[in-house]
Amino acid sequence: MEDITETSVSAPPAPVEPTTQQRRWWLLPALLLWALVYRWLGTVADVLTTSVLHLSLDSHLGSSVAFFLFEVPKVLMLLILVVFGVGVVRSFFTPDRTRQILSGKRESAGNVLAAMLGVVTPFCSCSAVPLFIGFVETGIPLGVTFSFLISAPMVNEVALALLFGMFGWRVAAIYLTAGLVIAIVAGWVIGRLRMERFVEDWVYELDTGVNTANSSNERMSWEKRIDYGLDAVREIVGKVWPYVMAGIAVGAGIHGYVPEGLLASFLGSDTWWSIPLAVLLGVPMYSNAAGIIPVVQALMEKGAALGPVLAFMMSVIGLSLPEMIILRKVLKPRLIGGFVGVVAMGILLVGYLFTAIL
């Protein structure tokens, strides 16, 4: 019954306060418990493997099992924390608000802002078309709109959490920066190419009137924001966990059984074609980044280089086939081609750059 009074818009917002307090107190012990469990995961996994399952950590099977028992809870815990945090941050940025911020911004500064807002604005590639129309209609330049559309799926919290968990903060930071730079530059290039004429004509003819935007800048209570974060955890982690488990299982197999250095010959830093290949392989794959990263981590342990790995990741989530098919409704083939071409070039450059640096 409480839910009903809460959502009816006209109801007075009085009874929200006490629960807010309770919810906040509950959050702190939960975070402490999280940190405590996280710290002991490695030890528990080793003890389980050796004393309970009676496997030696030096054996193939033992090292695979210990890897699995440690990585699964670790990655899932990180995922829950990051998705929750990002969820709370996102409750501040509705797409409507992002559009208001971006409207009236010029290119360049607009590209930078759009790419950054792409990270914190909730986005699902199934709303790419309405969002695109809404942005263009408000007069946001095409290139700026693209900066947003590139960064929103590419720099996503699941990828960041997994990279952080399996490769450390440095690789996660590199990924975040590279994703932003690609979105900014690619959007800017698309803007410079003057590709407005390759947007389907009806988009510009569509007269939705001067934008009065149902600006839903309602102030959310902190309790609602926490709920928003928890909802995000339920939805995203609920969807992604089987892929994570499967990925780590494959990774554990590689970890225990594949000999050291085997992959250096064809996924190492000496083979120039591994990066274009990684980009090509990534395009038809969609949303399974969660399952791919653990496998990739195990591959890298055996000699694969970071460049192709990052290129592959970005291509999987930044250039997805389903999204392009949806965007075809508003973009002519040449613009889609331009979009894919510019982004793929960016990913290639990032891949080569990291192979050269690291």
Partner 1 sequence: MNIQVLGSGCSKCRELEARTKKALQSAGVAGEVEHVTDFVEIAKLRVLVTPALAINGEVKVAGKVPSEAELVGILTTAAATE
Asked if residues 228 and 41 have their Cβ atoms less than 8 Å apart, the reply is no
Query: How far is residue 85's CA from residue 68's CA, in Å, rounded to a whole number?
Result: 26
Report the DSSP beta bridge partners of residue 199: 331
Secondary structure (3-state) at 199? strand
Q: Which of 20, 94, 108, 288 binds partner 1 (CB under 8 A)?
A: 94
Binding residues among 10-69 for partner 1 as defined by CB under 8 A: 10
Spatial neighbors of 337 by CB under 8 A, at least 6 apart, are none
Query: How far is residue 86's CA from residue 147's CA, in Å, rounded to a whole number?
Result: 20
CB of 345 to partner 1, least distance (A): 29
Q: How far apart are the first and last CA of the chain?
A: 58
Q: Which of 74, 99, 225, 255 binds partner 1 (CB under 8 A)?
A: 99
By CB under 8 A, tell whether 9 contacts partner 1: yes
Q: Which of 88, 193, 213, 349 binds partner 1 (CB under 8 A)?
A: 213
DSSP string, 120-146: HS---GGGHHHHHHHHHHTT--HHHHH
Render the burial of 27-51: b for 16+ CB within 10 Å, e for the rest. Answer: eeeeeeeeeeeeeebeeebeeebee
Nearer CB in complex with partner 1: 122/253: 122
By CB under 8 A, tell whether 7 contacts partner 1: yes
Rg from Cα positions in the chain: 23
Decide: residue 67, CB within 10 A, 0-12 exposed, 13-18 middle, 19+ buried: buried
By CB under 8 A, tell whether 218 contacts partner 1: no
Secondary structure (3-state) at 9? coil
Contact stretch for partner 1 (CB under 8 A) within 69-77, 121-129, 305-313, 336-344 = 121-129
Q: Which of 127, 177, 217, 265 binds partner 1 (CB under 8 A)?
A: 127
Binding residues among 275-334 for partner 1 as defined by CB under 8 A: 326, 329-330
Tokens standing for residue 60: 């193939």
By CB under 8 A, tell whether 336 contacts partner 1: no
CB of 140 to partner 1, least distance (A): 12
By CB under 8 A, tell whether 142 contacts partner 1: no
CB of 91 to partner 1, least distance (A): 11
Asked if residues 346 and 186 have their Cβ atoms less than 8 Å apart, the reply is yes
Contact stretch for partner 1 (CB under 8 A) within 2-10, 16-24, 43-51, 287-295 = 2-10
Q: Which of 32, 57, 126, 173 binds partner 1 (CB under 8 A)?
A: 126
CB of 325 to partner 1, least distance (A): 11
By CB under 8 A, tell whether 225 contacts partner 1: no
Q: Which of 95, 110, 153, 187 binds partner 1 (CB under 8 A)?
A: 95
CB of 210 to partner 1, least distance (A): 11
Distance of CA 110 to the CA centre of its chain: 21
Spatial neighbors of 22 by CB under 8 A, at least 6 apart, are none
Q: Which of 43, 208, 217, 265 binds partner 1 (CB under 8 A)?
A: 208
Say what angle helices 333-357 and 274-282 make with each other, to 10 degrees: 140
- Residues in touch with partner 1 (CB under 8 A): 3-10, 94-96, 99, 122-124, 126-127, 129-131, 133-134, 137, 202, 206, 208, 211, 213-214, 231, 326, 329-330
